[in-house]
């Protein structure tokens, strides 16, 4: 099976699993469920759950164990996108080639759809954790996800990002934003995959370092695509960072240095993966894909 075939296989598995989790009906809350499904089933790269599976497969083969946690991470990521698109934040009209949630369902329902996905993610993880006699790895995984998506992770990074608009920014603050707002939810699935698969402390630490490098590289590539990307491929408006006077790697360092930074960070991630050999081949090739992605 080629790398691309394996990638598409994982995307299909994750999408079917997400659809299964959201096959729920509440007569009084039909609009809420539709809004949740609208964003979670809108496509996207499914990068974060794929990272959880790819990390897990380095250490074990039964991916069924990690799937609920991988899907939960995607729900948390999607909730963050719904809220990120709101007028109070980035005020975006398109996401993944479709109108944003608040444009279709209204701001109130969009906020609650995001809240619904966040809470449902933890409900899924708790229900899955209770099935296991040895709950320790699963509890540890939930803790990793909670921290990554909370005040010392994604939410904390988002607040600093908002407060930095139209202000001078140094490299340290920009790294803080990228490491927390974006990289935290890339580090988390890599750690979770390793934890649930039974990896040792050094191996989990490797996954964390890989996630840190990969997360920063991913966000810098995002900054680059916001300038040179193709809207039809990205599925969202470009130039929004400049419109909102946001500091990014290209605005701080220039395009050439930003491109080189992505390459350097990707190389760092790949060096950490090399000792894992053939078992890490898919994840290694995924880093190659991310460095040149156009979406």
Report residue 196 as tokens. Answer: 């649930």
Domain ranges for the chain, please list them. 3-291
* pLDDT exceeds 80 at position 27: no
pLDDT value at position 241?
53
* pLDDT exceeds 70 at position 237: no
Q: What is the mean pLDDT of residues 12-28?
A: 89
pLDDT value at position 242?
52
Q: Which residue has the higher pLDDT, 290 or 16?
A: 16
Class of the CATH-defined domain 3-291: mainly alpha
Phi, psi (degrees; rounded to nearest 5) at 35: -65, -40
What would the pLDDT profile of 163-182 be if each residue is shown by its tens digit? 887 777 888 999 999 999 99
Task: Say how far apart CA 68 and CA 30 lie, in whole Å.
Answer: 24
What would the pLDDT profile of 57-87 be if each residue is shown by its tens digit? 999 999 999 999 999 999 999 999 999 999 9
* pLDDT exceeds 70 at position 233: no
- H/E stretch holding 99: strand 98-99
pLDDT value at position 71?
98
CB atoms within 10 A of CB 270: 19
3 state SS of 242: helix
pLDDT value at position 123?
97
């Amino acid at each position: 099976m080629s790398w691309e075939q394996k990638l598409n296989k994982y995307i299909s598995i994750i999408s079917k699993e997400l659809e299964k989790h959201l096959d729920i009906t509440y007569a009084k809350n039909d609009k809420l469920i539709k809004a949740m499904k609208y964003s979670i089933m809108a496509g996207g790269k499914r990068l974060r759950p794929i990272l959880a599976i790819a990390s897990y497969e380095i250490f074990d083969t039964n991916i069924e164990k990690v799937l609920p946690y991988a899907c939960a991470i995607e729900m948390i990521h999607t909730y963050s996108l719904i809220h990120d698109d709101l007028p109070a934040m980035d005020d975006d009209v398109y996401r993944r080639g479709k109108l944003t949630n608040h444009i279709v369902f209204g701001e109130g329902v969009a906020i609650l759809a995001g809240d619904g996905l966040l809470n449902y993610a933890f409900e899924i993880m708790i229900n899955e954790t209770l099935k296991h006699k040895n709950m320790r790895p699963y509890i540890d995984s939930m803790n990793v996800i909670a921290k990554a998506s909370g005040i010392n992770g994604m939410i904390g990074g988002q607040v600093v990002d908002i407060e930095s608009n139209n202000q001078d920014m140094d490299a340290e603050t920009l790294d803080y934003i990228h490491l927390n707002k974006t990289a935290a939810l890339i580090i988390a699935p890599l750690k979770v995959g390793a934890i649930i698969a039974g990896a040792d402390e050094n191996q989990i630490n490797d996954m964390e370092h890989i996630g840190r490098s990969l997360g920063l590289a991913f966000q810098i590539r995002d900054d680059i695509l916001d300038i040179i990307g193709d809207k039809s491929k990205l599925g969202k408006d470009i130039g929004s960072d400049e419109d909102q006077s946001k500091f990014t790697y290209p605005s701080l360092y220039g395009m050439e240095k930003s491109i080189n930074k992505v390459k350097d960070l990707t190389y760092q991630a790949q060096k950490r993966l090399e000792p894992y050999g053939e078992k890490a081949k898919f994840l290694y090739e995924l880093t190659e894909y991310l460095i040149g992605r156009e979406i």
